[in-house]
Amino acid sequence: METPIKWGILGLGKIAHKFASDLKTVQGASLHAVASRTQQKANEFSKKFKIQNAYGSYEALAKDPEVDVIYIATPHVFHASNSMLCMQHGKAVLCEKPIGINAQQLKQMIQSSTTHKAFLMEGLWTNFMPHLKNLQELIKLETYGKCLTIEADFSFKANVDPEKRLFNKKLAGGALLDIGIYPVYLALKLLGKPNQIHATAEFSSTGVDLSNQIQFHYQSGAIANLSSSFDKNSPSTAKIVFEKATVELGSRFHETDQLTITTDSEKNKIDFHYPTHGYQFEIEHVQDCLAKNLLESPEWPLKSSLELIGTLDKIRNEIGLKYKEDKA
């Protein structure tokens, strides 16, 4: 049997719990250590998931010589510094989305990956899910002709809490970077870089975007209508109109296991059912990359992350949302 890849998790909040439970299902993966800012939280997490090593500081995890790869699960604003700490100690990094809060931070992270020869990938988990792979294939083969329009929304009602990361400007809160990243990702993935971007937003009392509406225009005439909001509950679906079919992504589109394809003559529902949250697909991909000694993913390379965060920078510029980490 091959030696398992030893994972560490840095920052033990909501998403870390889901990720840990999916990681346990991946062949060849071992959850070796976790780190929190407090020892007690690390102890509780390690007890729950039966993990050998629990650290009360992020640095201790980065320095653990046994760990191969670290999953960064802290608020957006810490992604760059946490990832660079791990890469400095030679660790591969899978960093939650958005990988940095602006393109400038991501460029520093890429520099660190190059300098320390450490693998780096953004945890854009949707990119590795079966429904996205299927969609990419339809686009590549032009099965239903060209893509004409995309409509994608991701919204849920959240209570305004100035301290929590969704609304806290110091933690780079706001709908766009937290959930709006998924509609933007979908349009970039399926149609590429737009010629023109128009965006508007409503702001919360904490100074971050409560909701946003974005339109991408393409040379081909294609249009993407994208939106996200913390101010309403919505099914959070997506609809892609091709010349010869309409493809609907079920609720919530970024993690759905269902595609419905409607043509003039038939309606087909594809169900990619799996019993987990869906993080195992990106975990398996990272393991493949590490087995091949790659420094970045061929399927979600750093240039794609740069294009995504660069587009989010442009949208923030258009709606007038600046964080203190942005250059003046």
C-alpha dihedral (296, 298, 302, 303), degrees to nearest 10: 150
Please state the closest distance from residue 214 (CB atom) to ligand NAP, in A.
18
Binding residue for ligand NAP (CB under 6 A) from 8, 100, 123, 250? Answer: 123
Total residues contacting ligand NAP by CB under 6 A comes to: 20
User: For ligand NAP, which is the closer residue by CB, 15 or 87?
Assistant: 15
User: For ligand NAP, which is the closer residue by CB, 258 or 262?
Assistant: 258
Tokens of 217: 């225009």
Buried b (16+ CB within 10 A) or exposed e, 26-42: beebbbbbbbbeeeebb
Which residues are within 8 A (CB) of 152 and not within 5 positions of it... i.e. 6 or more apart? 182, 183, 186, 187, 224, 225, 226, 227, 237, 238, 239, 249, 253
Contact call for residues 210 and 230 (beta carbons, < 8 A):
yes
Binding residue for ligand NAP (CB under 6 A) from 2, 14, 327, 328? Answer: 14
Please state the closest distance from residue 153 (CB atom) to ligand NAP, in A.
17
Q: What are the DSSP calls for 79-112, one per residue?
A: HHHHHHHHHHTT-EEEEESSSSSSHHHHHHHHHH
Please state the closest distance from residue 74 (CB atom) to ligand NAP, in A.
4
Binding residue for ligand NAP (CB under 6 A) from 5, 12, 87, 106? Answer: 12
**Which 85-104 residues touch ligand NAP, going by CB under 6 A?**
96-97
User: For ligand NAP, which is the closer residue by CB, 14 or 292?
Assistant: 14
Decide: is 125 part of the binding site for ligand NAP (CB under 6 A). Answer: yes
Interface contacts to ligand NAP, rule CB under 6 A: 11-16, 36-37, 41, 73-76, 78, 96-97, 123, 125, 165, 178
